[in-house]
Amino acid sequence: MEKKNFTMGLFSGSLDKLTAAGIILSGAIAHGMSVDIYVLLQGARAFKKDIGADIDKLSMAENANLKSEFVASLERLKVKSWLDFFKEAKGMGEVRIHICGLAGKIWGGEKMEDFVDIVDDICGIGEYIINAQEADLHLFI
């Protein structure tokens, strides 16, 4: 069976959507898909080394007043952090994480050293558009 290509445009840098993206990514890898994630705008902030796994620095996209309940539930259920989902998926399959150059610059990230170690490169938006057009599955979060 031919390997399917999955492209994700990850616009959000909120804890709830990053967690959802990590879970979806894990499912894609478990199904043998090749994954390219293009991290855009607010998403790029979450991938900065000084933000990364620090959930206190991340907002909630939906119902901000539920953040403490959401975090408590994740801890109670022993759900991995969003960043751990991404790291684990990269270790299990073909996952490439691309930071949009402009998005990185908006948050003060201009070189690879500014981002967590799972980032593969910094690229332009054109690469995302082409990849999304050619993908078997494309999601925008």
pLDDT tens string 112-128: 999 999 999 999 999 99
Of 19, 54, 43, 21, nearest to 102 by C-alpha is 43
Residue 60 near residue 66, CB atoms below 8 Å: yes
Who's near 24: CB < 8 A, 6+ residues apart?
Answer: 8, 139, 141
Q: What is the pLDDT of residue 61?
A: 86
Question: Is the pLDDT confidence value at 62 over 90?
Answer: no
**Helix, strand or coil, per DSSP, at residue 97:** strand
Mean pLDDT across 72-80:
96
Using pLDDT thresholds of 50, 70 and 90, give the confidence band for residue 1: low
Angle, vertex CA 40, rays to CA 26 and CA 30, nearest 5: 10
Q: How far apart are the first and last CA of the chain?
A: 28
Question: Is the pLDDT confidence value at 28 over 90?
Answer: yes
Q: Which fold is adopted by the domain 5-140?
A: Hypothetical Protein Ychn; Chain: A, (3.40.1260)
Helix 15-30 with 82-92: angle, nearest 10 deg: 20
Using pLDDT thresholds of 50, 70 and 90, give the confidence band for residue 92: very high
Question: Is the pLDDT confidence value at 94 over 80?
Answer: yes
Mean pLDDT across 95-111:
97
Mean pLDDT across 35-58:
94
Q: What is the pLDDT of residue 114?
A: 97
Question: Is the pLDDT confidence value at 55 over 90?
Answer: no
- Six token digits for residue 82: 């969003």
Query: What is the value of pTM for the model shown?
Result: 0.94
As a dihedral over the C-alpha atoms of residue 129, residue 45, residue 116, residue 68, rounded to 10 degrees, the angle is -120
Residue count of the chain: 141
Spans of all domains in the chain: 5-140
